[in-house]
Amino acid sequence: MSIQFMKLEKIYLANVVLYLNDIDSAINFCCINTKCFDALQIIRINPQYKVARRGVFENYTESKQSEYTTYKRIAKLFSNLETFVVPQESLQLTPKCAEHIVLTSYNGTIQIPDNMTDRLVEITIGIRGFALNLDQFPFLRKVHFTAIIAQKLENFFGSKAKRYDLVEVTHQYYSNNDVGFYKKVNLFNFGKFVVRFYNIGDLKAVIDEFPEFTTIAISCVTSVGELIYPNTYLFSPNNKVFQFSSDIPENVIQLYAFGCVQVTKNADLDLSKFPALYDLDISVAKNVDLPTTLTALTTTRVVDVTSCVNLEKLETSGCVWDVIPSSVKELIVTDGNVNSLDCNEHLISLTFSNEVSYKKGQKERCDKHDGRTKAVFALPLKNCVNLKSVSINEFKITNSFTHLTNLKELVLTECSVDEIDADKVFYPNNLVSLKCRHSQLPKVETTQHLTSMCVAGFFAKSAIDISMYTTLCDVKLRSLNVDVKLPMIRRLEINASRHAFDLKYLSTLEIIVLDKFSGSIVLPTTIKTIVMNNSNPTVTNIDDIRPQVFLNGSTLRHSQVSPVVF
């Protein structure tokens, strides 16, 4: 492997880390192998992960504490940051290695420490009744104002000569306090000055009073068709959700190239004139004329997609399709069905979910394990020869998957499987990853490529043996409260269990993840990494283990272990 390729691989893995959902996912990612761990070390700006909430109904104090905890874990996990993006409540967590600070919220309730004034490069100010002298930050280049209520904007700028690359003002309510500032904004050394409005009336007032403004942004509100000026363009706060009215002026189409759109009004819309539109969600819309350029569609009813010759992803719920366009590569069906996939040889990923899994009074056969009435999944897939990933949730499966020779991943969640034959030969030979119930384990002869397995054992009453699957490297045990005999694996995850596990025989085990685990456990002395999420285990041989990495723990202790607690 060339040095250039090795560098490219590390950069790719680092980009994966940036797009993970939360800090727990990042911790699990770095435990996969040394390459994934090393990828964290080249990240120079902290990811903006979703804050881990304690509950659905957090008060303000609890919400800020959850936010603080998340940023504390981020600061510890990423040790080589050059830029730290942080809200004011967590500013004190800024690592010393970070040369630049981006303050995402500031309302004047805390004092910015003197040792950070030279590192602040960008700030978002939610004005309440204070004025902050921005001249004290010599390297500050970008300023964002939101929620302007009391203070005049000019009170924040002492010297007109100081250079700012961007000054952005977002108006929730237009204030006359800013009239004087707007009239002399050209006297300041601003590279770009942007004003955003959420109210049509405020926009009209500013445009009428300041016709010299060349660019004004307006949010895509439902009444956007009532007021469009030649020098305005449209934006959405997250570049995703646009609330279209039924009347879309031609000049709007010309002024903005919509890419991703989620229609949030129950209206008839003609979107056929938007040539740049590629991702569309019409779940709540009435009738929509689709553009030919569409590549991804989300809908709750059957629509005419014959003109969408490039459609690659279709997500549908609550409806039954006769046929799916042959161009579709990813199909997601929730609480619905498809009558035929005979012409879908390009299909790569298929997901079927039956969230409304049973109804009282239905006459279908019941699943013998949990007594629930399941819909039957009997869709022929004989022509879907290129399928690589299949996920089925809450169905009774009556057909075999053996003909899908390219299938690499199969997920059967809460499914019951009819006996195809005495040996349960319904799995293809080339599977790499499998999730199934403990009663649906495949024949060993069909698992020569299997490296990852998730076994769910909600109703298991006796010991389970999967030691014969010797190719496995990664195993997840979900809701298992019986003994399990495992092969020599490298990584093990135990989820939702109170059972006692003796793992001392697993001499190859390097990583263990305990998620919602409250049982007792004996670990091999060779264990290198322990990850715990919402767990309170009893480690009976705690004096014998020396993990190199200990993440997310609060109860595991050893006098000679220096855990990194996130």
Ordered DSSP codes for 253-304? HHH----EEEE-S---EE-TT-TT--EEE-TT-S-EEPPTT--EEEESS---
Concatenate the DSSP letters of all residues of 454-514 into one string. EEE-TT--S-EE-TT-TT--EEEEES--S-EE--S-SEEEEEEE---EE-TT-TT--EEEE
In this structure, which amino acid lies at residue 376?
Answer: V
Query: For residue 538, what are the β-bridge partners?
Result: 520
In this structure, which amino acid lies at residue 76?
Answer: K
Q: For the chain, give the longest Cα–Cα distance.
A: 84
CB proximity list for 190: less than 8 A, separation 6 or greater: 164, 166, 167
List the one residue out of 66, 65, 110, 118 whose CA is nearest residue 92.
110
Amino acid 163: pLDDT: 94
Amino acid 402: pLDDT: 87
The model's pTM is: 0.63
Amino acid 403: pLDDT: 87
CB proximity list for 8: less than 8 A, separation 6 or greater: none
SS3 of 399, please? coil
SS3 of 552, please? coil
Helix, strand, coil shares of the chain, percent, nearest 5, are: 20, 25, 55
Q: Quick check: 140 and 116 in contact, CB under 8 A? A: no
Amino acid 351: pLDDT: 95
Residues of the chain with pLDDT under 70: 1-8, 53-60, 127-129, 147-151, 172-178, 197-258, 264-265, 267, 356-374, 418-425, 552-566
Tell the residue number behind the tokens 């490069």, with chain if given: 121
Amino acid 219: pLDDT: 45
Domain limits, the chain = 312-429
Amino acid 554: pLDDT: 41
Amino acid 208: pLDDT: 67
Q: Locate 293 and state its tokens.
A: 């350029």
Q: Locate 143 and state its tokens.
A: 């300023």
Amino acid 478: pLDDT: 94
Q: What is the CA radius of gyration of the chain?
A: 29
In three-state form (DSSP H/G/I as H, E/B as E, the rest C), the secondary structure along 20-32 is: CCCHHHHHHHHCC
- CA atoms within 13 Å, Cβ hemisphere of 150: 7
Q: Locate 109 and state its tokens.
A: 């309730």
SS3 of 102, please? strand
